[in-house]
């Protein structure tokens, strides 16, 4: 009977955790969309404000403009559930070793920092593919996709292009202009045109990579960019999630311990351990989680901007292969190379900071609060 009760409690905690993550992600997802578009659409000279971003989304996202704010939510919900499960699971496993042999379950802020950094690195490995797909859906929702007035006839799609990216048709105007630049022959010469179309770098007809709007489905990403694209920007992702996890758990542990000490003041007799103080209010725990997440988001935002901008870049696998063969060296100083920061993004690293702090703080507050509420509600019904 005890085993059955333990199994039921385990299911209750699992259902409450998944439900709280989905609920908080849904309510804060528009903030994440605004953050991503601020990071991607802003140049070094101008940063788009909230009104411009919102108008662009409502105008370009189709018949139901509000749906553009939730583009890619399914990928985020799945990736966030797996990622947060890995983050808290790894953190609990590591801190269990710290608490082994101690009289109480005390974890210092420094131990929480190290455990959180390790947990964040694992989270980055798991959530990277889902985050890439989510980000490209968000960017596509606010991107202008021109019509195919000047596209080649669909029946004339080159075999090489059809294998690399299904549904991509080169722009006939760009192709004719390109042929005119490199050849003295007429742009109507089918031999030159057909030959150029057999080169992967002529997929768009201009020598440029396809737009993110054309490479957002998992099958298209794998076909054109390879499996490694799902983990693009992994260095900056690990740096971001490691810093976030370390700062989040250490700040949360510090605030949690401060609240326990405050509650213990005036107790007679004085408690000998944290267990004797008793549980804290779920509201205060949720507020502490929200504050910790906001601080962690601010500390790791530079790496988040780098990760976002790198994932929004289409890099065909033949270009990646050429870079490996030529031993291409990533630009920037040693710190930038290790963390994946591109030198051209130095002035953009803190774009969207307020959006991310608000989203992280609200999401953490809602996740913890709804988790406690769901567990109490389900457990009361069980008994």
Q: How do residues 294-337 score in pLDDT, each as one tens digit?
A: 999 999 999 999 999 999 888 888 888 888 888 888 888 889 88
Of residues 197 and 286, more confidently modeled: 286
Q: Give the Å distances, CA to CA, from 166 to 205, 316, 334.
A: 15, 14, 39
| pLDDT of the residue at 230 | 92
- Over 50: is that where the pLDDT of 150 sits? no
Q: Give the Å distances, CA to CA, from 301 to 29, 279, 356.
A: 17, 33, 8
Of residues 179 and 153, more confidently modeled: 179
Of residues 291 and 99, more confidently modeled: 291
| pLDDT of the residue at 217 | 87
Please classify residue 358 by burial: count the beta carbons closer than 10 Å to its beta carbon, then call 0-12 exposed, 13-18 middle and 19+ buried: middle
Task: Tell me how far apart the alpha carbons of residues 22 and 3 are, in angstroms, rounded to a whole number.
Answer: 29
Token pair in block for residue 13: 């905690």
Cβ–Cβ < 8 Å for 37, 53: yes
Q: Which CATH number fits domain 2-145+227-382: 3.40.50.2000, 3.10.20.600, 3.40.50.360, 1.50.40.10?
A: 1.50.40.10
Torsions phi, psi for 289 (to 5 deg): -65, -40
Cβ–Cβ < 8 Å for 315, 233: no
| Residue 280: other Cβ atoms inside 10 A | 15
Domain segments of the chain as ranges: 2-145+227-382, 154-210
Of residues 158 and 258, more confidently modeled: 258
Mean pLDDT, residues 107-113 taken together = 89
- Over 80: is that where the pLDDT of 382 sits? no
pLDDT digits (tens, 9 = 90+) for 21-49: 999 999 999 999 999 988 887 655 566 67
Mean pLDDT, residues 81-93 taken together = 92
Q: Which helix (H) or strand (E) holds 301?
A: helix 282-311
Band (pLDDT 50/70/90 cuts) for residue 267 is confident
Cβ–Cβ < 8 Å for 339, 304: no
Q: Tell me the average pLDDT of the chain.
A: 82
* Angle in degrees, 0-180, between the axes of helices 109-141 and 2-41, rounded to the nearest 10: 60
Of residues 154 and 209, more confidently modeled: 209
Strand, helix or coil for residue 171: strand
Strand, helix or coil for residue 151: strand
| pLDDT of the residue at 115 | 94
User: In this structure, what DSSP letter does residue 269 have?
Assistant: S
Band (pLDDT 50/70/90 cuts) for residue 2 is low
- Over 60: is that where the pLDDT of 222 sits? yes
Cβ–Cβ < 8 Å for 250, 119: no
pLDDT digits (tens, 9 = 90+) for 170-215: 666 766 766 666 665 555 555 666 666 666 666 776 667 788 888 8
Cβ–Cβ < 8 Å for 290, 361: yes
Mean pLDDT, residues 233-239 taken together = 93
| Residue 328: other Cβ atoms inside 10 A | 11
What pTM does this model have? 0.85
| pLDDT of the residue at 62 | 59
Band (pLDDT 50/70/90 cuts) for residue 354 is very high
| Residue 274: other Cβ atoms inside 10 A | 17
Cβ–Cβ < 8 Å for 226, 314: no
Mean pLDDT, residues 332-360 taken together = 90
């Amino acid at each position: 009977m005890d085993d059955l009760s333990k199994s039921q409690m385990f299911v209750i905690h699992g259902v409450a955790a998944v439900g709280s993550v989905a609920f908080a992600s849904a309510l804060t997802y528009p903030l994440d969309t605004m953050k991503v578009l601020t990071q991607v659409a802003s140049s070094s000279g101008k940063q788009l404000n909230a009104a411009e971003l919102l108008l662009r989304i409502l105008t370009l996202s189709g018949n139901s403009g509000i749906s553009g704010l939730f583009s890619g939510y399914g990928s985020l919900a799945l990736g966030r559930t797996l990622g947060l499960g890995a983050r808290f699971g790894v953190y609990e496993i590591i801190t269990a070793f710290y608490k082994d042999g101690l009289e109480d379950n005390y974890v210092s802020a420094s131990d929480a920092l190290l455990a959180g950094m390790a947990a964040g690195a694992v989270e980055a490995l798991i959530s990277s593919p889902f985050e890439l797909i989510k980000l490209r859906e968000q960017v596509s929702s606010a991107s202008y996709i021109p019509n195919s007035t000047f596209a080649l006839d669909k029946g004339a799609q080159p075999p090489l292009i059809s294998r690399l990216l299904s549904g991509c048709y080169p722009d006939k105007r760009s192709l004719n202009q390109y042929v005119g630049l490199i050849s003295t022959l007429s742009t109507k010469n089918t031999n030159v045109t057909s030959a150029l179309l057999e080169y992967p770098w002529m997929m768009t007809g201009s020598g440029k990579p396809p737009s993110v709007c054309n490479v957002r489905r998992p099958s298209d990403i794998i076909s054109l960019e390879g499996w490694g694209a799902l983990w693009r920007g992994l260095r900056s992702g690990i740096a971001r999630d490691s810093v976030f996890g370390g700062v989040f758990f250490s700040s949360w542990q510090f605030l949690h311990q401060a609240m326990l000490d405050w509650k213990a003041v005036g107790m007679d007799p004085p408690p000998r351990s944290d267990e004797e103080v008793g549980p804290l209010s779920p509201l205060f725990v949720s507020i502490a989680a929200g504050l910790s997440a906001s601080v962690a988001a601010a500390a790791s935002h530079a790496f988040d901007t780098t990760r976002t901008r790198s994932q929004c870049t289409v890099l065909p696998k033949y270009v990646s292969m050429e870079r490996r063969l030529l031993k291409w060296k990533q630009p920037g100083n040693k710190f930038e190379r290790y963390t994946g920061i591109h030198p051209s993004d130095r002035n953009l690293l803190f774009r969207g900071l307020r959006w991310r702090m608000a989203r992280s703080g609200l999401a953490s507050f809602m996740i913890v609060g709804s988790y406690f509420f769901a567990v109490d509600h389900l457990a009361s019904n069980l008994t």
